[in-house]
Structure 1
Amino acid sequence: MSMKTLTPVFVFTTLVLLPLTATTTTIQDLLRSRGLPVGIFPDNVKSYRLNRDGRLEVRLESSCMAEFDGRVYFDRVVTANLSYGGLVGLEGLSQEELFLWLPVRCIIANDPSPGIILFDIGVAHNQLSQSLFEVPPSCMPQEVMIEKFDRKEGFDFQK
């Protein structure tokens, strides 16, 4: 074969097949493409899967706690229906509210106003600044987070 014969094959492979093999995206890329901030999920995401019906399953390395405006708890697996600007029907995410842990039912971006993230915990809606979600939060084991907050707030946590 001559070099002229290989050139079209090389060009075809490079332009057509290479992009098909390089479609791996991060959870942050997926969130950004759906109008959500990249820091909704913590920094220990192991993998994710998005079904054709829009059901998102995010697997973490381990369950853990993070801090936005308050403490949140992530199960090892978090699922939700992903739509543009929202995660609805969330399972595996809880938020501390007045010393109670309540399940977060949905997260909505830019509703009702831009720059606000709405956390629906059923009995209340928390409006948080989108700036809190610019980077994925550090996710710590529950024991570390409890110790951090207890020292910070001056409480002595008894086990």
Structure 2
Amino acid sequence: MPLFNTKITLFFSTLSFFIIFLFPPLSLTSSIHDLLISKGLPAGLLPKEVKSYTLSENGYLEVFLDGPCLTKFENRVLFDRVVRANLTYRSLTGVVGLSQEELFLWLPVKDIIVDDPRSGLILFDIGVAHKQLSLSLFEVPPDCKPQGELKMNGMRKEKGLEAWR
């Protein structure tokens, strides 16, 4: 009888190992940046300051930061405290909580798509236009500056995010 119990224990231990290995919980598998890479997107689409995220089974992604913050890719970009999107392979669609400055206007980013990674380009749909940027701009997660002192283009701003809008 002890040999039978040993075999059962070994079987369930091995089975548990494979289940955890093949279907690990998201919180153990990776950061949000690793998740983006696994979905064919560059890690630098989201800032280093991401505190947590949730991803539902249907691909609905919610990314949480401590508060709104600014960074710069080609132009200035504003992340809200929560950024939401539908995550599929090589795309974030229906984005909410991300704006990009274009010609002194803040426009919401609607979709972010990598059609062909070999092209070296990523497409940003900002509603009124589609903007293609170099994927190299998004290799490394950027620092994102919260309200307070910001320094961009050699100018100091002391009034926080409202001064940038």
Q: Same fold (TM over 0.5)?
A: yes
User: Corresponding residue for 2:152?
Assistant: 149
User: Corresponding residue for 2:36?
Assistant: 31
In structure 2, C-alpha distance between the alignment counterparts of 1:113 and 1:100, rounded to whole Å: 31
User: Corresponding residue for 1:87?
Assistant: 92
The answer as to 2:45 corresponding to 1:49 is no
User: Corresponding residue for 2:130?
Assistant: 125
Aligned CA RMSD, in angstroms, stands at 2.8
In structure 2, C-alpha distance between the alignment counterparts of 1:136 and 1:41, rounded to whole Å: 6
Offset at 1:43?
0.5
Task: Label 1:50 to 1:62 Cα distance change in 2 as closer, same or farther (>3 A).
Answer: same
Q: Secondary structure at the match of 2:112?
A: strand
Of 2, 14, 17, 1:15 maps to 17
Offset at 1:12?
2.6
User: Corresponding residue for 1:76?
Assistant: 81
Question: Which stretch of structure 1 is more off in the superposition, 90-99 or 117-126?
Answer: 117-126
Offset at 1:83?
1.1
Could you tell me which runs of 5 or more consecutive residues in structure 1 were left unpaired when the two chains were aligned.
none
Could you state the TM-score of these two structures normalised by the residue count of structure 1?
0.81
| Alignment length (residue pairs) | 154
Offset at 1:109?
1.2
1:109–1:118 Cα contact (<8 Å) kept = yes
Question: Which stretch of structure 1 is more off in the superposition, 21-30 or 42-51?
Answer: 21-30
Could you tell me which runs of 5 or more consecutive residues in structure 2 were left unpaired when the two chains were aligned.
none
2:123–2:130 Cα contact (<8 Å) kept = yes
Could you state the TM-score of these two structures normalised by the residue count of structure 2?
0.78
Offset at 1:155?
8.5
In structure 1, C-alpha distance between the alignment counterparts of 2:129 and 2:17, rounded to whole Å: 51
Q: Secondary structure at the match of 1:131?
A: helix
Question: Which stretch of structure 1 is more off in the superposition, 129-138 or 17-26?
Answer: 17-26
Which letter does structure 1 place at the counterpart of 2:14?
A: F
1:111–1:118 Cα contact (<8 Å) kept = no
1:66–1:138 Cα contact (<8 Å) kept = yes
Q: Secondary structure at the match of 1:62?
A: coil
Identical positions, percent: 52
In structure 2, C-alpha distance between the alignment counterparts of 1:87 and 1:8, rounded to whole Å: 42
